[in-house]
Amino acid sequence: MSLRQPRWTRALPADVVLALARVTPCGNIPFAPGTWGSLAGLAFFAVCLRPLAGVAGGVPLALAVGALIILAVPLCGEAEVRLGKTDPGEVVLDEFAVMPLCFLGWWRALPPGWPEWAVLLAGFALFRLFDIWKPLGIKKLQRLPGGWGVVVDDVVAALAACAALHFACRVWPTLGHAG
């Protein structure tokens, strides 16, 4: 199977592609645009997708995030073409789209006494750590063609953050910090 940049975005006006890929205004912020895009993704999760987290084992949440990723790949890849840059920092739709993945299954892993905001903050911090540091071969995923390279490394960073968050939620109570 060969991954190719989807073509349907070629017909869209440049200002539409760039506004969506930048999650305007997040990508236009001159300092740490990826962090701003991640914060927007966290807010989107907290306000719009969080209610889906505990429904039917989280399947609706996974489907919603999958739809975001399916849109992010072609839009981020087309933004690369329009800007003439590889994985430009101002393109933050990838961070926005994958941020909710950090919280898959979180409602089951939440230790007693932990406030939701603490889990949201921890998931955000872990995602930024994995997204910036890019351990575990995540950096190699950026070599995938077009939008695939822009988005897939963030998918894996979010899943690594999710795993680390679940691990922390599991271990914390055993350390005598139940609440």
Q: In this predicted model, what pLDDT tens digit does every residue of 23-58 receive, in sequence order?
A: 999 999 999 999 999 999 999 999 999 988 888 888
Res. 143: pLDDT tops 60: yes
d(CA 146, CA 152) in angstroms, rounded, equals 11
Cis amide linkage into residue 13, ω under 30° from 0:
no
Only one residue has tokens 């072609």, namely 74
d(CA 107, CA 154) in angstroms, rounded, equals 22
By CB neighbour count within 10 A (0-12 exposed, 13-18 middle, 19+ buried), where does 113 fall? exposed
What is the pLDDT, as a whole number, of residue 86? 94
pLDDT digits (tens, 9 = 90+) for 96-113: 999 999 999 887 777 777
Q: Which residues contact 156 (CB under 8 A, 6 or more apart)?
A: 136, 138, 141
Percentage of the chain modeled with pLDDT above 90:
77
- Three-state DSSP at 78 gives helix
Q: Which residue has the higher pLDDT, 17 or 1?
A: 17
d(CA 162, CA 99) in angstroms, rounded, equals 10
Q: Comparing C-alpha atoms, which of 41, 48, 155, 80 is closest to residue 33? A: 41
Most distant pair of Cα atoms in the chain: their distance: 58
pTM: 0.93
